[in-house]
Structure 1
Amino acid sequence: MIPVSQLLLFAFAALLMVLVPGPNMIYLISRSVTQGRKAGYISLAGVACGFLFHITLVSFGLTAILMAVPYAYTVLKMTGSAYLLYLAWQTVKPGGKGLFDTNTQLEADKPLKLFSMGLFTNMLNPKVAVFYLSFFPQFIKPAYGSVLGQSFLLGLTQIAVSFTVNFLIISFAAGVTRWFSANPKWVRIQKWVMGGVFGGLALKMALDKGK
């Protein structure tokens, strides 16, 4: 079983990931602001199901790769570190999107369409697949037991973190959006703090000695 300390570090990385503006975040906030919390919650349910789709594919794929290719762990570890550095740059680069810069001009949709759009927005989001492929190998070690079981444990942890954060954001989307719009300096602070943490995680993972 994955040690608690490593699982907590992964949960922290997943927390940072969910706070980086992307298709899921933008869609959920936009729906919540324009159509209300209920629409946001329904959309979030679709997003959560999309995560399960990615987790299943990646978990079985990683199990096969790590058992068949001797240097796969090292390659995936360095890929994950490079991806973290990319996220750090995306977070702090000039003109980057803020956490609550969303489109608020959306038409009202029925529950089934809200769920479907949340599902497919996540299923077709390459950032999710890249996150799993880059991060899972940093925390999966054959010595901890079943690689498949560890993959699903990490995936369910990520879903729990993402669902909790997005649920809170949806619940307070309108008020928080107005607050950040009125206090742009905090948006800049948030960007640089997150960028620094991503850079630190990238260095840690790059220097990790291995399996």
Structure 2
Amino acid sequence: MMGWDQLAAFVVVVAALIVVPGPSVLFVVSRGVALGRRAAVSTAVGNEAGMLVQVLLVAVGLGGIVERSALVFSVLKFAGALYLVHLGVHAWRHRKELAVTPEQERTTRSSAQILREGFIVGVSNPKGFLIFTAVLPQFVSPDSGSVPVQLLALGLICVIIALISDAAWGVLAGTVRGWLGHSPRRLSFIGGASGAVMVGLGVKLAFSSRP
């Protein structure tokens, strides 16, 4: 089993990598500002559900394929980029719909839809695969038991840290939205800005080089 010192070092390294804003964090923030705290937390849960799928893939060995295959990595990256652009364009087109009452908001956007969108962004985020394929193996010891089980356990720790981090970012962003709620014009501007951020994230992700 991994010693407490090694586990603490792992948590510090992973937390530092996860807290740094990437596509998932900025997506959660944009949702928090545009749709509120509940939507931001739901997006974070969806993101981490997607990350959990990545953990399972890495634990059974498919993460190595992504790590070694430039084609598979590129397909995953572009799929996530296109989806971010799609969501950004949608947010821009419907930016004026943000100026609604909480009751209207609950009827116009379901939690299932928000979770699904967060899941797609999370499962297609290359940053997660890079962490799981480049960082996790450094803390795995064949002498400490089953390697897939160790990878799964360490991956679950990553998911928990990411959920706490993303949810905190989202709640903060949603709180700012509440402060802006007195001005429909400001909310419309924020909605358009969040859409532009998502499009920018998608473009940046599409043209980013592989480390």
Q: State the TM bucket, normalised to the shorter chain.
A: 0.5 to 0.7
1:116, distance to aligned residue in structure 2 (A): 0.8
Correspondences of 1:56-71 after superposition (within 5 Å): 56-61=56-61
1:110, distance to aligned residue in structure 2 (A): 2.8
Residue type of the partner of 1:43? T
Are the aligned partners of 1:63 and 1:148 in contact in 2 as well (CA < 8 Å)?
A: no
Q: 1:14 maps to what in 2?
A: 14
Q: 1:40 maps to what in 2?
A: 40
Q: Secondary structure at the match of 1:153?
A: helix
Q: 2:150 maps to what in 1?
A: 150
1:173, distance to aligned residue in structure 2 (A): 2.3
Q: 1:162 maps to what in 2?
A: 162
Give, in whole Å, the separation in 1 of the partners of 2:27 and 2:40. Answer: 9
Residue type of the partner of 1:159? V
Q: 1:129 maps to what in 2?
A: 129
Correspondences of 1:188-199 after superposition (within 5 Å): none
| Structure 2: segments with no counterpart, 5+ residues | 69-90, 99-108, 180-211
Give, in whole Å, the separation in 2 of the partners of 1:129 and 1:141. Answer: 20
Q: Secondary structure at the match of 1:21?
A: coil
Q: How many residues align?
A: 142
- Give the direction of change, closer, same or farther, for the CA distance of 1:141–1:171 in structure 2 (3 Å limit): same
Deviation string for 1:112-158 (max 9, x for gaps)? Answer: 22111110001111111111000111100111111111101101111
Give, in whole Å, the separation in 1 of the partners of 2:151 and 2:50. Answer: 16
Deviation string for 1:71-100 (max 9, x for gaps)? Answer: xxxx99xxxxxxxxxxxxxxxxxxxxxxxx
Deviation string for 1:15-57 (max 9, x for gaps)? Answer: 1112222110011001111111000111111111101100010
Correspondences of 1:18-97 after superposition (within 5 Å): 18-61=18-61
Q: Secondary structure at the match of 1:172?
A: helix
1:64, distance to aligned residue in structure 2 (A): 8.7
Q: Secondary structure at the match of 2:61?
A: helix
Are the aligned partners of 1:63 and 1:147 in contact in 2 as well (CA < 8 Å)?
A: no
Give, in whole Å, the separation in 2 of the partners of 1:10 and 1:173. Answer: 28
Residue type of the partner of 1:113? Q
- Give the direction of change, closer, same or farther, for the CA distance of 1:63–1:111 in structure 2 (3 Å limit): closer
- Give the direction of change, closer, same or farther, for the CA distance of 1:146–1:30 in structure 2 (3 Å limit): same
Give, in whole Å, the separation in 2 of the partners of 1:45 and 1:38. Answer: 11
Are the aligned partners of 2:41 and 2:167 in contact in 1 as well (CA < 8 Å)?
A: yes
Are the aligned partners of 2:57 and 2:63 in contact in 1 as well (CA < 8 Å)?
A: no
| Structure 1: segments with no counterpart, 5+ residues | 66-74, 77-103, 179-211
Correspondences of 1:97-116 after superposition (within 5 Å): 107=95, 109-116=109-116
Are the aligned partners of 2:37 and 2:175 in contact in 1 as well (CA < 8 Å)?
A: no
Q: 1:140 maps to what in 2?
A: 140
Q: 1:204 maps to what in 2?
A: none
Q: Secondary structure at the match of 2:135?
A: helix
Are the aligned partners of 1:29 and 1:170 in contact in 2 as well (CA < 8 Å)?
A: yes
Runs of 4+ in 1 over 2 A off after TM superposition: 62-65, 104-110, 173-178
